[in-house]
Amino acid sequence: MGERKGVNKYYPPDFDPAKHVSLNKYRNSHPLRERARKLSQGILIIRFEMPYNIWCDGCKNHIGMGVRYNAEKKKVGNYYTTPIYRFRMKCHLCVNYIEMQTDPANCDYVIVSGAQRKEERWDMQDNEQILTTEHEAKKKLETDAMYRLEHGTVDQSKLQRAIPTLSNIQEAQSAWKDDFAINSMLRRKFREEKKILQEEEEKDLALQTKANLSIPLVQETEEDRRLAALLKYHSLDSYEDKQKLKRTEISGRSWFPPAQAPAGKATDTLKKLGLAGKAVPPKALTGGSHITVGHLGIVRRKSREGPESLEHGARTGGQSRDSTAHGTPQQSSPMANGDVLPAEDTASTSCSASLSSSLVADYSNSSSDSEVD
């Protein structure tokens, strides 16, 4: 660890290689720096990894296998020629200290104090794991030839039973042995997926541009397709049908506006007679019915008629007014000049009768008997 820090070394001006040999001796420090602060006591600070799951005696919490600690390592004994080391570390969850040491006889670690091991042990032979050769069996293999022969026969029988399994494993691994073929197949699959993704992205972009959307679109699923197939949105009439109907209406319409009877002449006549403020039937003003001389109360007589005819016209107008006032039903009302008034204009009949009793016009200069509108 100290070597990785000595890439760029600074040598002071008073450094003498013959006298100081190294920078560590020049500074009077150990290459391991703080890790060697207790080296005089035979203790070295190392990074220790928990070999199995344990329970801390101080906080009763579980500490998993593989948790790392800064542990104090020191030698406490030997197993034959193999040294036994003890490790002391502080729990990261409490102030309790845990001590463990190596067990070379069983190739394991033993807890000395501060924790309890979580029992997860099994028989290696039952678990079909490779067993370590014991010391006594190893010594017997070295000294006894017959035991060595028997042991070799057992190993050969185990190999014959394991050959089919090993061949199957080799065949399965041989399919993945060609790196170039595997790489080509993988890259081909990636190119196909990339092409599909690009096509979907182009479709989404076209739909967003058409609908003027700025939100990201979700991937379409089969359930969405089935739901969309059940929904139908359509208008009662298509655009072409509406246009055809509109053209038909335009072609069947008259080129000229509807003719309306001018109401200006009747209004001027009423103003001359002083009846502009009286109620006039709306049909007479709007041109809904034909306006005759009787509606205006004008009676025409010939030049040879005398005062008797005038008196007769006045009496006739009075009788028609009285019959209208008393509610006598009349189908038609004869006028003095022979015109017939429709029965539906009862209000017009009463108005014309009242006017005929008060007004008499002399058309003695007229040469025809036709009705003046």
For the segment 11-44, what is each residue's pLDDT rounded down to a tens digit?
888 888 888 888 888 877 887 888 888 888 888 9
Q: Where are the beta strands (DSSP E) in 10-107?
A: 44-49, 54-56, 62-63, 68-79, 82-90, 97-103
- Beta-carbon count within 10 A of 116 CB: 11
C-alpha distances (whole Å) from 55 to each of 24, 58, 108, 298 are: 42, 9, 18, 131
Give every CB contact of residue 130 below 8 A, 6+ residues apart in sequence: 124
Position 339 scores a pLDDT of: 44
The residue type at 242: K
Three-class DSSP category at 327: coil
Tell me: pLDDT of 372 over 70.
no
State the chain's mean pLDDT as an integer.
75
Position 112 scores a pLDDT of: 94
Q: If you average pLDDT over each of 52-66, 164-178, 214-228, which comes out highest?
A: 52-66
Give every CB contact of residue 288 below 8 A, 6+ residues apart in sequence: 282
Position 8 scores a pLDDT of: 66
Separation of alpha carbons 93 and 59, rounded Å: 7
- Per the document, the length of the chain is 373
Element (H, E) at 196: helix 179-211
Position 345 scores a pLDDT of: 45
More confident of the two residues 79 and 327 = 79
Tell me: pLDDT of 297 over 70.
no
Position 84 scores a pLDDT of: 95
Position 331 scores a pLDDT of: 43
Least confident piece of the model among 35-39, 43-47, 193-197, 322-326: 322-326
Q: Is 173 exposed, middle or buried (0-12, 13-18, 19+ CB in 10 A)?
A: exposed
Tell me: pLDDT of 242 over 60.
yes
DSSP assignment letter at 278: S
Per-residue confidence band for 87, with pLDDT thresholds at 50, 70 and 90? very high
Position 94 scores a pLDDT of: 92
Position 298 scores a pLDDT of: 61
Q: What is the mean pLDDT of residues 133-148?
A: 85
Least confident piece of the model among 36-45, 47-56, 361-370: 361-370
pLDDT digits (tens, 9 = 90+) for 89-131: 999 999 999 999 999 998 999 999 999 999 877 777 777 777 7
Position 213 scores a pLDDT of: 86
Give every CB contact of residue 20 below 8 A, 6+ residues apart in sequence: 26
More confident of the two residues 298 and 180 = 180
- Ramachandran area for residue 253 (φ above 0: left; ψ -120 to 50: alpha; else beta): beta
Q: At what angle do helices 145-174 and 135-143 cross, to 10 degrees?
A: 110
Q: Which of 281-285's residues contact partners 24+ apart within 8 Å by CB, and which partners? A: 281/345, 281/347, 281/348, 281/351, 283/345, 284/348
| Residue whose C-alpha is closest to residue 350's, from 309, 310, 294 | 294
